[in-house]
């Protein structure tokens, strides 16, 4: 039933996309030639203004081509988990390829009397209409599934912490459309339950359950010490033809998005995918750092000079405070900050965080710490290559030694350059906040790095990152 419904829905999507392509094209025609928009666009003297009937003749080639492009760009059959993450990107990608196809048709037919501006308007209108249509359909699906319609029955094999985590996520997202029928396990009693999901039999009974053809999907959730059973279970599921998923019990070892590579036919799972280990990615990020740091130095040079003068005239000691921090590959470096505290013994300073109403903080120090102005000299750390504009915040050696024993995966943050700001900081985890939460955000950044994520963090820093309520 579920599979038939999904096939029917995909067919409806194809027909609807064809209709939307025609509507987008017609709407683009009227916007180009009959709306006030035409006065904002320089009229191309080489584009003769055909009537709508003549303009629409190209749709016989355009619509089938676009639908094929949509298929290969993954717009049909997006699962519920991937839908939110990939929809907009796939739509834009498909329409970019579609625009190239549109242009190719005009070139191949030697047609010079079509408005090129119409192609651009068509791209924008089509992306918007397709996005609205898919969001409406998805909203209807979510509502129906929450009410119990069109649910996919799932059987889990193995009662473990992985099974509990899987159950947690499926129950928290009923709109995904999964209905968990029960769990098969050899180690716990029948009727053992987790959040209402019961153990309904042993793994030996799996062939009987598969033969019933009641399940759309099998989820293998064995604990790691039962993996000797995995081969037999997979063979049984494959023989029955049911769709099978394997949810590994590697939660403490593998990252959220493990990186798998094919080593001459041998699958190899990298324990952690770090995009910045790629040479090109590192060079691109470094180029952005140098450009961004140079611009920042120009923009903030006058405020930095003013702060330096105030620090020098209001308290004894150097203007710049240097502190040893741990950077990439666990190497120490001197991190620069504007001095915001009275001079103190190094042995005391390196083992203690600043506390609320700390008497060591100067008057100007309270202000520059609260507004993060004290961190502006780190621009020079970025230019030196010790730091990046964006990355996990570096910590002092004493705390690194302490946290690496207390917090799993803490040291992974040192696989990349530390940053002046980061994903954890713009999400509120800076200063006197949870180190564990901070590491979770740092790991997300390390595993999912992209230039767009860096720009997003930089943008959010201006709204969330400068004023630090946890800075004392």
Q: Which helix (H) or strand (E) holds 388?
A: strand 388-390
| Structural domain count of the chain | 3
For position 213, what pLDDT does the model report?
A: 79
What is the tally of helices (H) and strands (E) in the chain? 16, 12
Q: Which two tokens stand for residue 42?
A: 């320089």
We report the CATH number of the domain holding residue 182 as 3.40.50.20
Q: Which among 183, 271, 174, 180 has a CA at the least distance from the CA of 221?
A: 183
Do 141 and 163 have their domain in common?
no
Tell me if 261 is assigned to some domain.
no
* Of 3-7, 179-183, 307-311, 342-346, the least confident: 3-7
Do 180 and 287 have their domain in common?
no
The average pLDDT across 169-189 equals 85
- Say yes or no to pLDDT of 40 above 90: no
Contact 52, 29 (CB under 8 A): yes
Q: What are the distances in angstroms from CA 276 to CA 111, 142, 238, 286?
A: 46, 37, 38, 10
Final residue of a structural domain among 104, 120, 146? 146
Q: What dihedral do alpha carbons 190, 191, 197, 201 form, nearest 10°?
A: 30
Residues in the chain: 472
Contact 258, 269 (CB under 8 A): yes
The average pLDDT across 422-451 equals 87
Tell me if 95 is assigned to some domain.
yes
Using a CB cutoff of 8 Å and minimum separation of 24, what contacts does 41-45 make? 41/117, 44/115, 44/116, 44/117
Final residue of a structural domain among 146, 173, 208? 146
Tell me if 64 is assigned to some domain.
yes
Percent of the chain at pLDDT exceeding 90: 37
Do 106 and 211 have their domain in common?
no
- Per the DSSP assignment, residues forming a β-bridge with 193 are 198
* Of 53-67, 125-139, 342-356, the least confident: 342-356
Do 320 and 433 have their domain in common?
yes
Tell me if 305 is assigned to some domain.
yes
Pairing of strands 193-194, 178-184: unpaired
Pairing of strands 419-421, 388-390: parallel
Tell me if 263 is assigned to some domain.
no
Do 138 and 164 have their domain in common?
no
pTM of the model: 0.56
* Cβ burial, residue 426 (10 Å; 0-12/13-18/19+): buried
The average pLDDT across 448-464 equals 88
Instruction: Count CB-CB contacts under 10 A for residue 60.
Output: 9
* Of 28-37, 121-130, 191-200, 220-229, the least confident: 28-37
Q: In angstroms, rounded to a whole number, what is the distance separating the alpha carbons of residues 388 and 152? A: 46
Q: In angstroms, rounded to a whole number, what is the distance separating the alpha carbons of residues 148 and 144? A: 7
For position 150, what pLDDT does the model report?
A: 64
Do 413 and 305 have their domain in common?
yes
Compute the mean pLDDT over every residue in the chain, rounded to the nearest whole number.
83
Do 406 and 292 have their domain in common?
yes
Do 325 and 403 have their domain in common?
yes
Q: In angstroms, rounded to a whole number, what is the distance separating the alpha carbons of residues 414 and 412? A: 5
Tell me if 317 is assigned to some domain.
yes
Tell me if 412 is assigned to some domain.
yes
The parent domain of residue 42 ranges over 2-146
Tell me if 111 is assigned to some domain.
yes
Do 137 and 218 have their domain in common?
no
Contact 95, 123 (CB under 8 A): yes
For position 455, what pLDDT does the model report?
A: 92
Final residue of a structural domain among 89, 116, 146? 146
Q: Which among 110, 86, 94, 221 has a CA at the least distance from the CA of 162?
A: 221
């Amino acid at each position: 039933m579920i599979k038939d419904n999904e096939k029917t829905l995909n067919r409806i999507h194809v027909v609807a996309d064809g209709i939307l392509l025609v509507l987008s094209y017609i709407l683009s025609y009227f916007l180009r030639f009959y709306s006030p928009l035409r006065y904002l666009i320089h009229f191309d003297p080489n584009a003769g203004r055909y009537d709508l009937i003549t303009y629409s003749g190209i749709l016989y080639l355009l619509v089938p081509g676009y639908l094929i492009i949509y298929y290969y760009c993954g717009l049909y059959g997006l699962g519920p988990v991937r839908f939110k993450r990939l929809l907009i990107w796939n739509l834009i990608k498909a329409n970019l390829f579609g625009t190239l196809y549109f242009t190719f048709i005009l070139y191949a037919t030697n047609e010079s009397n079509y408005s090129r501006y119409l192609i651009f308007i068509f791209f924008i209108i089509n992306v918007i209409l397709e996005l609205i249509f898919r969001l409406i359909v998805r909203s209807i699906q979510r509502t129906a599934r929450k009410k119990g319609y069109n649910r996919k029955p799932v059987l889990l094999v193995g009662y473990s912490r992985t099974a509990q985590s899987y159950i947690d996520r499926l129950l928290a997202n009923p709109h995904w459309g999964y209905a968990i029928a029960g769990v098969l396990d050899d180690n716990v009693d029948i009727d053992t339950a987790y959040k209402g999901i019961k153990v309904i039999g042993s793994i030996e009974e799996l062939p009987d359950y598969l033969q019933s053809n009641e399940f759309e999907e099998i989820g293998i959730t064995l604990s790691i010490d039962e993996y000797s059973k995995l081969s037999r279970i997979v063979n049984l599921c494959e023989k029955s033809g049911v769709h099978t998923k394997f949810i590994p019990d590697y939660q403490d070892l593998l990252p959220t998005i493990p990186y798998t590579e094919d080593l001459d036919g041998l699958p190899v799972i990298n324990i952690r995918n770090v995009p910045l280990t790629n040479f090109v990615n590192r060079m691109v990020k470094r180029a952005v750092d140098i450009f961004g740091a140079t611009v920042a130095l120009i923009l903030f040079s006058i405020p930095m000079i003013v702060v330096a003068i105030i620090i020098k005239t209001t308290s004894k000691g150097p203007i710049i405070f240097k502190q040893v921090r741990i950077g990439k590959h666990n190497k120490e470096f001197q991190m620069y900050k504007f001095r915001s505290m009275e001079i103190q013994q190094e042995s005391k300073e390196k083992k203690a965080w600043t506390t609320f109403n700390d008497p060591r903080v100067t008057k100007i120090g309270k202000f520059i710490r609260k507004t993060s102005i004290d961190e502006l000299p780190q621009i020079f750390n970025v230019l030196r290559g010790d730091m990046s504009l964006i990355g996990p915040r570096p910590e002092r050696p004493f705390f690194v030694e302490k946290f690496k024993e207390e917090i799993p995966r803490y040291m992974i943050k040192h696989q990349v350059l530390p940053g002046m700001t980061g994903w954890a900081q713009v999400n509120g985890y800076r200063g006197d906040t949870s180190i564990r939460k901070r590491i979770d955000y740092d790991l997300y950044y390390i595993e999912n790095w992209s230039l767009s994520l860096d720009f997003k963090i930089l943008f959010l820093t201006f709204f969330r990152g400068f004023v630090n309520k946890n800075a004392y």
